Amino acid sequence: MFVEDVTLENDNEARHFDGFASVAGLKAEGQTSLLSQLKGYDNLRLLTGHAVQHLLGSDTDTRQIAGVMLDNGQCFTADTILLAAGAMHSPRLLQDYLNVSGLSDTLPVAKLVGRYFKRHILTAMLTFSLGPKTDALRKTTAWFHDRFPHSSVQPLGFSEDVLTTLIPRIVPRFIARWLGKRAYGFFLQTEEGSHPDNRVVAKNQTTMGLPKLDYDLKRLVNAKQEHVQMVRNFQSTLSKAGCISFTKSIPLAGTAHACGTLISGNDPQTSVVDAAGKVHGIDNVYVVDGSIMPRISRVNPALTIYAWSLRIADQLLQPTIIKKGGQ
Ligand SMILES: Cc1cc2nc3c(=O)[nH]c(=O)nc-3n(C[C@H](O)[C@H](O)[C@H](O)COP(=O)(O)OP(=O)(O)OC[C@H]3O[C@@H](n4cnc5c(N)ncnc54)[C@H](O)[C@@H]3O)c2cc1C
């Protein structure tokens, strides 16, 4: 997020803001909004460079998580565990624990962990018209259309030099730069509805010993259809306005919006975490990342994920719902 008047005085940064860090510190990104503010707190230790490898069960009750083990063998214990490794890794950690502890045979949620992986179906579009484009801030709107209720279009916040890099190398660079100056970039995205068979499978559930993402867009026929029609419609509207557009569909490997996999809901038969973020059937594990999203909506997910996480943190600070006196 930008403070606009300050940003526009920094033209170069303004035109590069989408996907790039701000060396002038103009963005309210993690470093500014969180990490720098946490410096100096004696009761907080941030450990980087080592991944959590396992959740550790308590000696007396498998439905209690005692802590975590890192990939270097170090262990940490806590009364309350917040799982926030993202929609690809959080389900793997939980699946592994459920398998090792034997809870996968008895806990109803076990069959749902990792399922309903979802992302946006994405198409990138470059649109050219004759006049050079001079906008500093481009990624300021999202457009909707009633005929495409799960879809949105947003400008890419890229300047002409970034857009130029998206033009195929076969085009001579001086032509690409000329075109880049006259281009707008767009992201066209459609919520894909999600399917239970699109899922993350932990490594000890596969024969090869590797974690796996089982995902097939063919399982989501309606969403795919809506996306294709929306792209065609937008392209034809732009052509009526004198613009010529080229599209590239973004494959699964290019997704930036991995969600689902530990979906929230009231019923342990159909969801993994409850409305308080707690895993159904496990006493002290709360999920605070994009895994919990039962729907992904037609726009980008980060603010919803932050809102969920802040809400869970607020709830955990209320003495009534803290299970074991954790902080
Ligand atoms: C280039 C890019 C641009 C984006 N732009 C936007 C945007 O403009 N608007 C928007 O809404 N969304 C945007 N997104 C999407 C947004 O960043 C994600 O939806 C969001 O960050 C997901 O949050 P999360 O907490 O679920 O997971 P993450 O942010 O992925 O957090 C998970 C964290 O857990 C760590 N981790 C994983 N496994 C382990 C482990 N075993 N042990 C310890 N740590 C672990 C990971 O390193 C990571 O830091 C963008 C994404 C990308 C990649």
Which domains are delineated in the chain? 1-46 (no CATH), 54-113+258-327 (3.50.50.60), 120-254 (no CATH)
What pTM did the predictor assign?
A: 0.89
Query: 89: Cβ below 6 Å to ligand 1?
Result: yes
The number of the ligand 1 atom at minimal distance from the alpha carbon of 51 is 42
Q: pLDDT higher for 326 or 62?
A: 62
Query: 307: Cβ below 6 Å to ligand 1?
Result: no
Query: For 73, left (φ over 0), alpha (ψ -120 to 50), or beta?
Result: left
| Distance in Å, CA 56 to ligand 1 centroid | 24
250-285, pLDDT tens digit by residue?
A: 999 999 999 999 999 999 999 999 999 999 999 999
Query: 199: Cβ below 6 Å to ligand 1?
Result: no
With a CB cutoff of 8 Å and minimum separation 6, the contacts of 203 are: 92, 96, 209, 210, 211
| Distance in Å, CA 86 to ligand 1 centroid | 6
Q: pLDDT higher for 154 or 18?
A: 154
